[in-house]
Amino acid sequence: MSSKSLFSCAVIALALLISAPSFAQRRSGPSWSAPRGLLEIHAGYLNPKDPAGGMLAGCRLGTMVDESVSIGIGFDLWHKIYRDEKEVADETRPDRNTKTYMTELEISDWAMPLTLEIGAKVPLSRYMGYTVRGNIGYTFLWSKYSNYLEDTSTNRRFGGICWQLGAGLYSEIGSRSTLVGDIFYNSSEVSSEVTTSEAGLPIFERVDLAGFGLRIGVIIDMR
């Protein structure tokens, strides 16, 4: 996904958040009363520096400290597949043109950040406002390299400290549900297990997962 496409997604998500209060204002009752617990389910997109960008999905289980601040444990799963393909045939039919491709190399990446998240909201009105959050934790990365030309396959494991900073909007859409969306920066550099070269020196691989992302989700009041 290009930067232009990511920006378009952000504009659409923020437009949905801005329009949501017109529906939420039809209900009555207190706004954002402090719950005993909360569950957030979200999905989005992360565009890291080294691998190509990919979709993510995750959740957060936490509790409200007061009417503005929450704390919880976050879990995300990010996935991307890269394929090195070459066109080997081009066939023209009366109704369509078809092309045949051959895959020479495939790299499948799965990243799983586990983080402690602290969030806060700044109300703009009774039913909507700004959100800010900070996360710190550890990222696990699993990569599978499949070389079909050489008929080989290897699996690599990486790990490293990560942190995130995010800011966005929230809008209450029900008595126990809140729509949230933010743009965030993810900082994470993961390394593989240390091995030894033929000269006896330690060697390892490093992947830079730092980059910007977008996520949108729903917070459910668990009281």
pLDDT tens track for 64-80: 998 889 999 999 999 99
Residue of 106, 6, 82, 17 lying closest to 46 (CA atoms): 6
Q: What is the pLDDT of residue 5?
A: 52
The candidate with the shortest Cα–Cα distance to 143, out of 158, 127, 161, is 158
Domains of the chain, start order: 3-221 (2.40.160.20)
**pTM (2 d.p.):** 0.76
Cα 51 to Cα 49: distance, rounded to the nearest angstrom? 6
- Cα gap 207→141, rounded to integer Å: 9
Q: Tell me, what's the pLDDT at 172? A: 93
Please tell me the distance from the alpha carbon of residue 178 to that of residue 31, in angstroms, as a whole number: 10
Confirm if 136 and 163 have CB atoms less than 8 A apart.
yes
CB count, 10 Å around CB of 99? 9
Q: What pLDDT is stored for residue 9 in this prediction?
A: 52
Closest CA to 213 of 1, 15, 41: 1
Residues of the chain with pLDDT under 50: 2-4, 6-7, 11, 14, 16-35
